[in-house]
Amino acid sequence: MRVYFDYNATTPLAPEVIEAVATASRDLFGNASSVHHYGQQAKAAIDDARSAIATLINGDPSEIVFTSGGTEADNFAIRGAAEALEATGRRHLVATAIEHEAVLNTFKALARRGWRTTLVPVDQSGIVAPERVREAISRDTALVSVMHANNEIGTIQPIAAIAAIAHEQGALMHTDAVQSVAKIPVDVRELAVDLLSLSAHKFSGPKGVGALWIKRGTRMLPILTGGKHERNRRAGTENVASIVGLGVAARLGANKLTAEAVRLAALRDQLEQGILTRVAGTVVNGDPHARVPNTTNISFDRVEAESLLIALDLEGIAVSTGSACSSGTLEPSHVLRAMGLPTHRTQNSLRFSLGQFSTAAEVERVVDVLPRLVEKLRRLTKSPVAARS
Ligand SMILES: Cc1ncc(COP(=O)(O)O)c(C=O)c1O
């Protein structure tokens, strides 16, 4: 039995998405900019997907710009807004210390070009207090970027409250909702943001496609220049089949959001309780309440997370040590570090993230296997990390 509990890294495609992408790849080969029948068919399919995404997040279809995924959506939000606002004298950007690398490294790149950047700290449970954001913002802040749900620990941030603070100072508010869309209700009007990023492969859609929602009237410059695609906001011939897949995933996500959230929360809690009771020296990282229903992040005392990850993989169980980008290295998680956890806990934590195909039998399997593996590693491991804990 193989178990995949790494849905926050990426998800398997929904069967309906596979079908729709295959059909679109075969039948909708026209260039959506062409005026003839083939082009118009492709354009209609793209517009249908645009409506599906707009419905999922309560936006207007005209406010959706398709991108190559979450990374591009984050880059577009930050660089596009920064460039548009540069002339107004606003040269300051604010984010939190627990953002995804797509945001953090874009900030670093802009800092090298003279932008002032501030990373707001989070509390021990991985939540940013709106007051901390208020302290960081000033009259020259162009944009505040705070993720909706964190990819490593799943915590949900108080976006609407932070957006209100950003707007008081005339700054734009962006949220990276890559890990919340189709897991919890995401409503751009309720969140009161100006820009929102999403990515299809985190909710049963294809990789390499996503979107940036841009509130109507928001001043943005394109980061990809070329043709007049996406109302002059993102140049490049549209990836029709993937966009169609994104649309199907959005409709599926909207239809089963509530039921799936309840089902996954029950499975996640069963997994968490099973681990906490069967494996001594374990503790959950993050906020137990304000988090997405599919994610838990657990510290295993006197165990090196990478070793446990490999031991689990040998048993056919796939999990993660946090963000996929830092896997394969012993870099401590920047998220757990920002929460102020001691070094050993930033290196002994595993993320379990569930999804569409997760079952109770899989949860049982993981809970059965873990005590033996952890015990073995604790006996064998003589690493400095283990010794310190
Ligand atoms: C919070 C968050 N933002 C952005 C991204 C990047 O999205 P993509 O993989 O579509 O580029 C990810 C994916 O790991 C993510 O978890």
> Which atom, in ligand 1's list, is nearest to the CA of 151?
16
pLDDT per residue rounded down to tens, the chain (389 residues): 999 999 999 999 999 999 999 999 999 999 999 999 999 999 999 999 999 999 999 999 999 999 999 999 999 999 999 999 999 999 999 999 999 999 999 999 999 999 999 999 999 999 999 999 999 999 999 999 999 999 999 999 999 999 999 999 999 999 999 999 999 999 999 999 999 999 999 999 999 999 999 999 999 999 999 999 999 999 999 999 999 999 999 999 999 999 999 999 999 999 999 999 999 999 999 999 999 999 999 999 999 999 999 999 999 999 999 644 445 556 789 999 999 999 889 999 999 999 999 999 999 999 999 999 999 999 987 655 544 44
Q: How far apart are CA 157 and CA 146, in angstroms?
A: 8
Q: How far apart are CA 155 and CA 298, in angstroms?
A: 13
Going by C-alpha positions, the residue among 313, 314, 315, 333 that lies closest to residue 323 is 333
Predicted confidence at residue 332, as pLDDT, reads 86
Strands 3-4 and 317-318: what pairing? parallel
User: Which is catalytic among the residues 97, 161, 325, 369?
Assistant: 325
Structural tokens at position 239 = 């990836």
Predicted confidence at residue 323, as pLDDT, reads 44
By most ligand atoms within 8 Å of CB, the mutation choice from 71, 146, 148 for ligand 1 is 71
- How far away, in angstroms, is 320 Cα from ligand 1 center? 15
* Ligand 1, CB cutoff 6 Å, lining residues: 69-71, 74, 100, 102, 147, 151, 176, 178-179, 199, 201, 210
- How far away, in angstroms, is 102 Cα from ligand 1 center? 7
- How far away, in angstroms, is 9 Cα from ligand 1 center? 8
Give, using CA atoms, the residue closest to atom 5 of ligand 1. 70
In what helix (H) or strand (E) does residue 111 lie, and over which residues does it extend?
A: helix 101-112
By most ligand atoms within 8 Å of CB, the mutation choice from 202, 212, 335 for ligand 1 is 202
* 8 A C-beta contact, residue 41 and residue 30: yes
By most ligand atoms within 8 Å of CB, the mutation choice from 11, 68, 151 for ligand 1 is 151
- How far away, in angstroms, is 344 Cα from ligand 1 center? 26
Give, using CA atoms, the residue closest to atom 7 of ligand 1. 70
- CB atoms inside a 10 Å sphere around CB 80: 25
Predicted confidence at residue 97, as pLDDT, reads 98
For the question of residue 74 being annotated catalytic, the response is no
User: Which positions ≥6 away from 26 have C-beta within 8 Å?
Assistant: none
Classify 286 in phi/psi space as left (phi over 0), alpha (psi -120 to 50) or beta: left
Q: How far apart are CA 380 and CA 138, in angstroms?
A: 52
Give, using CA atoms, the residue closest to atom 4 of ligand 1. 70
Going by C-alpha positions, the residue among 327, 319, 313 that lies closest to residue 354 is 319
Residue 193: strand, helix, or coil: coil
Predicted confidence at residue 386, as pLDDT, reads 46
Residue 202: strand, helix, or coil: helix
> Which atom, in ligand 1's list, is nearest to the CA of 147?
1
> Which atom, in ligand 1's list, is nearest to the CA of 72?
11
Give, using CA atoms, the residue closest to atom 8 of ligand 1. 70
Structural tokens at position 323 = 């963000």
User: Amino acid letter at 62?
Assistant: S
